[in-house]
Each structure stands twice: as C-alpha cells, then as structure tokens.
Amino acid sequence: MNPESRSIDTGRGRRARGANAARHPFDDRALHDHLITLRHKTYAHTDTQSGRSAGTSSLTTSAGIAHTTYSEGWWAFPREWIPAVADLCSRQAQRFREEAAKIDAQLAETDAA
C-alpha cells in the first residue's frame, strides 16, 4: 500500500481554513467526524442507534384479500449542514486535483527518464 494512502476514517489532522470557514458552525475535522458517524451508523450500516427502521405489515381486507406493506424510515440529513458539506467537498475536490497534478508530473518525469 502506498504510504500516502489512507482510509477515509483516518486523516492527518490537517484543518483547511478557507474564506468560508467563519460562515460554518463546524471546522473541517468536526464536520468530517459527523459525516463518518452518520455513514457508519445511519446510512451504510444499521446500528441500534441509527434511527433507521424497516418493517412489514400484513393486512387482510374484509373480502379476505391479504396485502403485505413495507415501510422504512431514517433520520434526515441535517439541512443546516448542507452549506458546510458543499464547501468541504469543493475544497477537498480542489486538493485532490492538486495532488493528481503532482502525481501526473512525477509520472511524466519517470516516463521521460
């Protein structure tokens, strides 16, 4: 594994502070931690604390016709987080593009040698 690679769960602890930082109630690390917790407990896995539910119910009409209904529910993503998440994603995409350009340059040097 490349020593520069890392899981989405671990980071280097860097906190990018952009012009939008004062606008959001989260710093990048806190927001990232909240998103990972939501991913693990609510969206990707069913955890006992997830707020997610699923169920079936059987109903029989007076005519004797049986129906099965399905239901599901989950906690909605907090709307007030959307601007902070969009900002974080935009800045992260820029960091990815910058790193990709560095790797492209390194590969070009290797190919030229």
> The domain containing residue 57 runs over which residues?
27-76
Backbone angles phi, psi at 37, to 5 degrees: -60, -45
The reply to whether 71 and 86 lie within a common domain is no
pLDDT surpasses 80 at 48: no
Average pLDDT over residues 67-77: 80
Of 55 and 5, which is predicted with more confidence? Answer: 55
Alpha helices in the chain (DSSP H): 28-38, 82-112
Query: Do 41 and 71 fall into the same domain?
Result: yes
Q: Say if residue 34 is in the same domain as residue 45.
A: yes
Do 96 and 66 reside in the same domain of the chain?
no
C-alpha–C-alpha distance, residues 89 and 95, integer Å: 10
Kindly indicate the confidence band of residue 45, based on its pLDDT and cuts at 50, 70 and 90.
low
The domain total for the chain is 2
Q: Do 92 and 71 reside in the same domain of the chain? A: no
Residue 113 is assigned to a structural domain of this protein: yes
pTM of the model: 0.49
